[in-house]
A and B are shown apart, each in its own frame.
Chain A
Amino acid sequence: MKLEVNGVNREVRSEPLTPLLDVLREELDVTSPKAGCHAGGCGACTVMVDGKPRRSCLIPVAAVDGASITTVEGLGTPKDPSAVQQSFIHHYAAQCGFCTPGMVVAATAYIDGGGSDDKDEIAKAISGHVCRCTGYTKILDAIAAATKQTEFDITIIAPDPTTVTIGGSE
């Protein structure tokens, strides 16, 4: 079997019913998709299959033979991150980082599909992804900012406008 992974053609030797997630992680050493529940419940394994977000833990690799797979490694690099990746960094949208690759893929698909900066819409779009750390607030902020890719200024760290700080001294 063959897969195009992040623009590179790869030969796959795993058994045909091996989940795509395990092929990526164990055979091809692409470790950004995470094995959270291995049952389609958490979203951490989400990758793009021919441009659409899919749970890689639920897909036998034979079912996507010849497909183009994109993970966060294929969206940007540390030196040249995508708008969504930049936005996640600058809005502190990751804590432990386990859900982040799936969130970034889902957010990219949402924006590619013309999604708006409406937080309720974004929450719906990522509702199949769970995050144990952030309370989702900063993830929603990051995705909302990334919808405005061209206007997005990474030098501005936008604090939550509803947060109030009281006290403090130098």
Chain B
Amino acid sequence: MAKHRGKGISAIEYPTGMNQNGDPSQAWIKVKPDGRVDVFSGTADIGNGAKTIQSQIVAEAIGVPYDWVTFDNSNTDSSPVCTGTFASRATFVGGNAVLKAAKEVKLKLLEAAGKEMEISPEDLEINDGEVSVKGSPSEKMGVDEVAGAAAYGHGVLITGTGAQLKPYSEITNSATGEVDSPPHSAISYAACAVEVEVDDETGEVLVLEMTQCYDVGRAINPALVEGQIQGGAMMGLGLGVLENSYPYYPSVDHRGAQYNSYMIPSPLDMPKVKTIIIENPSADGPYGAKGIGEMANNSQPPAIASAVQDAVGIWVTEIPITPEAVLKALEAKNAGDDSVRRDGKLVSFDEELSVNTVASGLSWSA
């Protein structure tokens, strides 16, 4: 009876948004006479940072300071429709919607500024809340002055709308669910490496170290995306070794009767976590961003399973890898039964095909 250490890795890929159905996100933006920007978007912020990210995208696209932007997703009457915060889509789909709206706002601001400054809008640019002449930065006026002139001088409301929608794909094979267009939405990639210690007497799996590497496309807010990946480490650890609402699914036997019987990792369960952020921009995300919200907790369980195999020579093919599952598999192994290994499914993904699909405009309405 002893404790055994093992290492394991996993590699995953994950799309953003819904691959088959249309899942629209829409946004509209208005500029107040003092140049402050109101964004109305339906994207709910459940702590993933959608308000921050979409406000950053708007500020960047228009060329105003971040704190000039107010993001209102307070109710579904005043905000345009957004299918929701799921499928890792808030930054990618919702972000594209506000980006399009912000680009329209910028054009209208430049138009109004051109009128005021008596110069062609094409010769103007906006940076940090100021409209200036390209190549002659001293000729400038504030976005607040431009917005005031538009409201009180030109009688114009500076506003923009944006929508992002992947068109509906017809199902061509009802047996397999195959659709008539290639599934694609900013595929991102991730890998996870863990070291575990397995106690062959108690069956307990202790995750000692975890390194996670995520391709986020573009880290629009590095601290927030880092937080999502760190949070994913904890969720993936829970999925991998602790969390089980139906231990004998589909039977409801021994289902936890209260909150305390559903074990999520506590601060003391956390391994040493290291994060690697890879910026491999997508062709169609806002500033190259991809969505990693869901995949952030998908890479850890297979890495843990692989590390357990490395440590004690058993494949546990169900998660969570509980002490009971480990002991059962060890017993089977000692009895000479090595049938627990389930054959993996080989999935190939062609990145060139994926990128070309985007470039051809086949998937996205642009």
Using Cβ atoms and an 8 Å threshold, which residues of chain A touch B231? 95, 132-135
Q: Is the CB of A164 within 8 A of B276?
A: yes
Q: Is the CB of A37 within 8 A of B234?
A: no
Is A77 part of the contact surface with B, judged by Cβ < 8 Å? no
Q: Is the CB of B267 within 8 A of A165?
A: no
Using Cβ atoms and an 8 Å threshold, which residues of chain B touch A168? 218-219, 279, 281
Quick one: given A97-B47, A126-B267, A160-B275, are A138 and B218 in contact (CB under 8 Å)?
A: no
Using Cβ atoms and an 8 Å threshold, which residues of chain A touch B226? 92, 159-160, 163
Q: Is the CB of A36 within 8 A of B259?
A: yes
Q: Contacts A36-B259, A135-B273, A136-B234 given; 15 further ones with Cβ under 8 A?
A: A37-B258, A42-B259, A95-B227, A126-B267, A129-B267, A134-B231, A136-B270, A137-B230, A137-B270, A157-B223, A159-B222, A160-B226, A164-B276, A167-B280, A168-B279
Per a CB cutoff under 8 Å, which of B49, B227, B274 touches A138?
A: B227
Query: With the chains together, A111 CA to B183 CA distance in Å?
Result: 52
The interface size of chain B toward A, counting residues with CB under 8 Å, comes to 34
- With most chain B CB atoms within 10 A of its CB, the pick from A95, A135, A140 is A135
Q: Which residues from 96 to 131 on chain A have a C-beta closer than 8 Å to any C-beta of chain B?
A: 96-97, 122-124, 126-131
Using Cβ atoms and an 8 Å threshold, which residues of chain B touch A162? 273-275
Query: With the chains together, A92 CA to B273 CA distance in Å?
Result: 17
Is A39 part of the contact surface with B, judged by Cβ < 8 Å? yes
A-B contact count (CB 8 A): 107
Quick one: given A159-B226, A160-B275, are A133 and B47 in contact (CB under 8 Å)?
A: yes
Query: With the chains together, A146 CA to B197 CA distance in Å?
Result: 33
Instruction: Determine chain B's interface SS by DSSP, over half rule.
Output: mixed
Q: Is the CB of B46 within 8 A of A123?
A: no
* A-side interface size class: 35 or more
Q: Which residues from 68 to 116 on chain A have a C-beta closer than 8 Å to any C-beta of chain B?
A: 92, 94-97
* Identity of the chain B residue whose Cβ is nearest the Cβ of A124 in the assembled complex: B268
- With most chain B CB atoms within 10 A of its CB, the pick from A39, A97, A138, A168 is A168
B51 CB to nearest A CB, Å: 12
Using Cβ atoms and an 8 Å threshold, which residues of chain B touch A156? none
Q: List 7 A-B residue pairs with CB atoms under 8 Å apart, sorted by A's residue number.
A: A37-B260, A41-B259, A133-B47, A134-B230, A134-B231, A163-B275, A166-B278
Q: Is the CB of B277 within 8 A of A140?
A: no
Query: With the chains together, A159 CA to B260 CA distance in Å?
Result: 33
Q: Is the CB of A138 within 8 A of B219?
A: no
Query: With the chains together, A157 CA to B223 CA distance in Å?
Result: 9
Using Cβ atoms and an 8 Å threshold, which residues of chain B touch A41? 258-260
Per a CB cutoff under 8 Å, which of B260, B264, B266, B281 touches A169?
A: B281
Q: Is the CB of B47 within 8 A of A95?
A: yes
* Identity of the chain B residue whose Cβ is nearest the Cβ of A93 in the assembled complex: B227
Q: Is the CB of B277 within 8 A of A137?
A: no
Is B206 part of the contact surface with A, judged by Cβ < 8 Å? no
Instruction: Determine chain A's interface SS by DSSP, over half rule.
Output: loop
* Identity of the chain A residue whose Cβ is nearest the Cβ of B278 in the assembled complex: A166
B227 CB to nearest A CB, Å: 5
Q: Which residues from 233 to 268 on chain B have a C-beta closer than 8 Å to any C-beta of chain A?
A: 233-235, 258-260, 264, 266-268
Query: With the chains together, A135 CA to B271 CA distance in Å?
Result: 10
Is B319 part of the contact surface with A, judged by Cβ < 8 Å? no
Using Cβ atoms and an 8 Å threshold, which residues of chain A touch B49? 95
Is B127 part of the contact surface with A, judged by Cβ < 8 Å? no
Query: With the chains together, A162 CA to B219 CA distance in Å?
Result: 16
Q: Is the CB of A165 within 8 A of B219?
A: yes
* Identity of the chain A residue whose Cβ is nearest the Cβ of B238 in the assembled complex: A132
Using Cβ atoms and an 8 Å threshold, which residues of chain B touch A139? 267
* Identity of the chain A residue whose Cβ is nearest the Cβ of B263 in the assembled complex: A130
Query: With the chains together, A92 CA to B229 CA distance in Å?
Result: 13
Q: Is the CB of A123 within 8 A of B267?
A: yes
Q: Which residues from 45 to 75 on chain B have a C-beta closer than 8 Å to any C-beta of chain A?
A: 46-49
* Identity of the chain B residue whose Cβ is nearest the Cβ of A163 in the assembled complex: B275
Quick one: given A162-B274, A165-B219, A167-B278, are A37 and B259 in contact (CB under 8 Å)?
A: yes
Per a CB cutoff under 8 Å, which of B219, B264, B273, B278 touches A132?
A: B264
A100 CB to nearest B CB, Å: 10
